[in-house]
Homo-oligomer: A and B are copies of this chain.
Amino acid sequence: MPEKVEKYLPVCVSLGPGDPELVTLKALRTLQKVEIIYCPATQSDGKTLSRAKDILDEIGIDTQKIRIFLVPMSKDRTLAEKVYSDIASEIAECYQTGRSVAFVAEGDSGFYSSVHYISDKLEEMDIAVQHIAGVPAFIACGALAGIHVVKQDERLSVFPSGTSAEEIMMEVEAGKSVVLMKLSQQKDTIKKAVEILSEAQFHYFENVGIAQKEFYTNNRNEIIQRLFPYFSLLIVKKD
């Protein structure tokens, strides 16, 4: 009779927006405890970039147990999905053989994070996944600016892409707070909104949580002149 293998459920650990100090106690404890950590990265100009790996390094996680996987950056999601499937299979094997394993996401894994697909694939294989919540980027942005993102009965709309200046205006005039993400994909829309929406406050952020790179302004002219890099975000509210 084969020896019974003790099994550990895989854990999906959210790391927060970038500041290693915004990692939760639960995330840190889990990452210290597990044997293997799968960590996403991208490649650009031959360089491997991973904000998640940076956070793991900064909180002192043993590099030996970190397994980097590259996620293709493409509008066509087929390639990325293949990678997530492969990693899910590797994690499933860890689970079957009794090795404790985590996989990590920047921000929160359930909030616009593609790492969550690994979890979906594991669930399809009938392997339950534990999720550890993290601080999403827009919440860290609000804290940096010291603003109420939303208060009392205010409503919030989050638009990751594909909006128009007119739509942003309608939402703000209806009294909603609007979070705009993926600004690099909708530069013209954003600039037009900043121009036409005179009775709103615009809070613009870049690289929140990244030491030396963090930037915040609520000055319209400054916003219009920014380049809207990958990690940029806007919070718009009625004055």
Most chain B CB atoms below 10 A, which of A14, A21, A134, A135:
A135
A–B pairs, 30, beta carbons within 8 Å? A16-B24, A17-B133, A21-B24, A21-B29, A22-B26, A24-B24, A108-B142, A110-B143, A110-B149, A110-B150, A111-B149, A111-B150, A112-B151, A113-B151, A116-B148, A116-B151, A131-B142, A131-B143, A133-B135, A133-B140, A134-B135, A134-B139, A150-B158, A152-B160, A153-B161, A154-B160, A155-B160, A156-B156, A156-B157, A156-B158
Q: Give the complex CA separation of A11 and B113 in angstroms.
A: 30
| Contact for A153 among B113, B132, B157, B160, CB less than 8 A | B160
1/0 per residue, CB under 8 A from B, across A45-82: the answer is: 00000000000000100000000000000000000000
| A125 within 8 A of partner (CB) | no
Q: A110 near B25 (CB under 8 angstroms)?
A: no
| Contact for A143 among B17, B132, B146, B148, CB less than 8 A | B132
Q: Give the complex CA separation of A150 and B108 in angstroms.
A: 11
- How many of A's residues come within 8 Å of B, CB to CB? 55
Q: Give the complex CA separation of A142 and B109 in angstroms.
A: 9
| A196 within 8 A of partner (CB) | no
List A residues 107-135 near B (Cβ within 8 Å).
Answer: 108-114, 116, 119-120, 123, 128-129, 131-135
| A233 within 8 A of partner (CB) | no
> CB-CB < 8 A to A139: which residues of B?
108, 110-111, 133-136
| A40 within 8 A of partner (CB) | no
Q: Give the complex CA separation of A153 and B160 in angstroms.
A: 6
> CB-CB < 8 A to A143: which residues of B?
14, 108-110, 131-133
Closest to A162 in B: B153
